[in-house]
Amino acid sequence: MAFPKKVLLVFLPSDSGVDGARSLYDEPETGSVRQWFDRSVRTIIKKSQFAIPPLSLMILGSIEVPGVEQQLCDMRFEEFPAEKKWDLVGISVQTGMARKAFELADMVRKKRIPVALGGAHVTLFPDSCRPHADVLVHGEADDLWKEALEDLRSESLKQDYRTKGFPDLSLSRPVNKRMLIKNRYFTTNLIQTGRGCPYNCDFCNVHVLNGRSLRRRSVGDIVAEIERFLEHDRRIFFFVDDSINADPAYAEELFGRLIPYRISWFGQATTTLGQQSRLLDVFAQSGCRALLVGIESVEPASRSAHRKNQNKATELVAAIKNIRHAGISLYGSFIYGLDGDTLDTPSAILDFVRETKLDVPGINILRPTPGTRVFERLREEGRLLFDPDDCTAFRYTFGQEMLYKPKRIPLDAFVDSYSTLTRELFTSAQSFRRGLGAPSAKTAVLFFNLFYTHLYGLSRNDLRKQVLTHI
Ligand code: SF4
């Protein structure tokens, strides 16, 4: 047996969006000025749009097993190192990039290197992954990966590693950044305080993958992690939890403990934070600079159609104003095209954005991801525009293709109204106005708005091409 065993963990870029949007239909000629321009813009977007390390692989790479060495290949920044000899290649598979992951896995296996596939897609669709893997890791891999590495060391890898329930996150599992190349990323300070979501939005699969109850790490462990991370990188912290205020007492304790560290941080929260005045104050004091909040819809009919019930449309405006008033900038994420939406919805969104002065209004088109309830419902209603039986047919793009037929709006009228909405919201002048007016993180707000001005232009062009020529 040769030691150490060499393991490569691979993270794949998405075809579009924050990994660098490109047209789905119109690749510029090789060597042309436009190709150079597109590439430059993609690189800037990748760097500035908060390109952060893949936390799941950071967690797995921090697991130490004597006799095994792990490395990371982040394919957003580098090619797969095909010339090197690996004892195991682990690939994280997301639905939306499954085809790419399978192609890479097949190529690696042809070289007689064993491949382990894990991630959300494996958990939801193991049968589609099996032909491309020697090992499948089902579910949250925190403990399973250690078992797999030990089996690799003793040359007794199994075909399947499964969790019995969810890992107990209150146990200490120190995360380190040994595998990361610091300057590639906007920040390497990623923290996850827990997993699971008690809410039930039908377009989301977090509650399916991570459970309905919140599992929390110990506050002491997180504070110790932040102290360690600060020795390596003093840039901004990013709390990746889907709703960092879902457990207000826990959040108050954690962020109260962080006040003396004088860090700056971004995170994701629900707008109910605007009604949690004590917690809001603690967030502001602990260095919270910007939050992403999922508004999804200002139409009550759409909110109830998609079970987005945790905060009421009528309370959103006041909540957002309170958060911004506390000095925290807000990225408000909308989905246009939900089942209660009509052609009047874009003007309601515009009014809402004007009234609340949201710093970045992100306009998304519904993505019926396989594995979510909305996917199943749209499949039953015959409204999907991709093959629902091919789970590699779904792909991530920056709003560049329609994946379903909206319920109350004809497709071409929907694309026209989406185009008008995004054109009105995103201009260079609006970007500078929002950047200057943001309560904090002004530069980030400016850059986000400028990039979105570019990206929404791309998405409008692609949507028009899709509707005119491909549907
Ligand atoms: S969208 Fe957010 S709040 Fe809704 S289920 Fe998903 S993680 Fe929870």
Q: Tell me how far apart the alpha carbons of residues 220 and 471 are, in angstroms, rounded to a whole number.
A: 54
Cβ 243 under 6 angstroms from ligand 1: yes
Residue 107 near ligand 1, beta carbon < 6 Å: no
Pick the residue whose CA is nearest to atom 4 on ligand 1: 201
| 368 found inside a domain | yes
Nearest protein Cα to ligand 1, atom 6: 204
Of 120, 144, 161, the one marking the end of a domain is 161
Q: Is the CB of residue 27 less than 8 Å from the CB of residue 16?
A: no
Other C-beta atoms closer than 10 Å to the C-beta of 140 total 22
202 lines ligand 1 (CB under 6 A): no
262 lies in the same domain as 404: yes
Going from the Cα of 207 to the center of ligand 1, the distance in angstroms, rounded, reads 7
Residues 270 and 368 in one domain: yes
Query: What's the confidence (pLDDT) of residue 3?
Result: 75
Residues for the chain: how many in total? 471
- The answer to whether position 167 is within a domain reads no
Which pLDDT score is estimated for 234? 95
Whether residues 332 and 399 share a domain: the answer is yes
Distance (angstroms) between ligand 1 centre and the Cα of 203 equals 8
- Any atom of ligand 1 within 6 Å of the Cβ of 242: yes
Question: In the prediction, which pLDDT does 42 show?
Answer: 67
Q: Could you tell me the residue range of the domain that residue 442 belongs to? A: 187-469
Tens digit of pLDDT for each residue in 266-289? 999 999 999 999 999 999 999 999
Single-letter amino acid code for the residue at 187: T
Q: Are residues 264 and 155 in the same domain?
A: no
pLDDT score recorded for residue 397: 82
Angle at 294 between CA 367 and CA 461, to 5 degrees: 45
Whether 171 is covered by a domain: the verdict is no
Distance 243 CA to ligand 1 centre (A): 8
Q: Taking the alpha carbons of 93, 97, 98, 99 in that order, is the dihedral positive or negative?
A: negative
* Same domain membership, residue 56 and residue 199: no
Q: For residue 242, give the ligand 1 atom closest to its CA.
A: 7
Which residues neighbour 110 within 8 Å (Cβ) at sequence distance 6 or greater? none
Q: Whose CA is nearest to atom 3 of ligand 1?
A: 199
Q: Which of 122, 145, 161 is the last residue of a domain?
A: 161
Residue 70: which CATH number?
Answer: 3.40.50
Q: How far is the CA of 18 from the centre of ligand 1 (A)?
A: 20
Total count of domains within the chain? 2
Q: Measured in angstroms, how far is the CA atom of residue 296 from the centroid of ligand 1?
A: 10
Cα 321 to Cα 388: distance, rounded to the nearest angstrom? 41
Is 179 within the bounds of a domain? no
Residue 168 lies in a domain: no
Q: CA angle, corner 326, sides to 324 and 328, nearest 5?
A: 50
Residues 206 and 144 in one domain: no
Residues lower than pLDDT 70 in the chain: 1, 15-21, 26-29, 34, 41-50, 305-313, 470-471
271 and 315 housed in the same domain:
yes
Q: Is the pTM of this model over 0.75?
A: yes
Place of tokens 């246009």: 336
Q: Say whether both 339 and 433 belong to one domain.
A: yes
Strand partners, 116: 90, 135
**Of 338, 341, 292, whose CA–CA distance to 444 is shortest?**
292
- 231 and 148 fall within a common domain: no
Residue 432 lies in a domain: yes
Distance from the alpha carbon of residue 267 to the mean position of ligand 1, in angstroms: 14
Q: How far apart are CA 295 and CA 3, in angstroms?
A: 52
Q: Are residues 104 and 33 in the same domain?
A: yes
Instruction: Say which CATH number the domain at 395 has.
Output: 3.80.30.20
My answer on whether 19 and 105 are in the same domain is: yes
| Domain shared by 452 and 346, yes or no | yes
Q: What is the layout of strands, in order, in the sheet containing 329-336?
A: 189-191, 237-239, 265-269, 288-296, 329-336, 360-365
Does the residue 176 lie in any domain? no
Look-up: residue for tokens 């250690």? 146
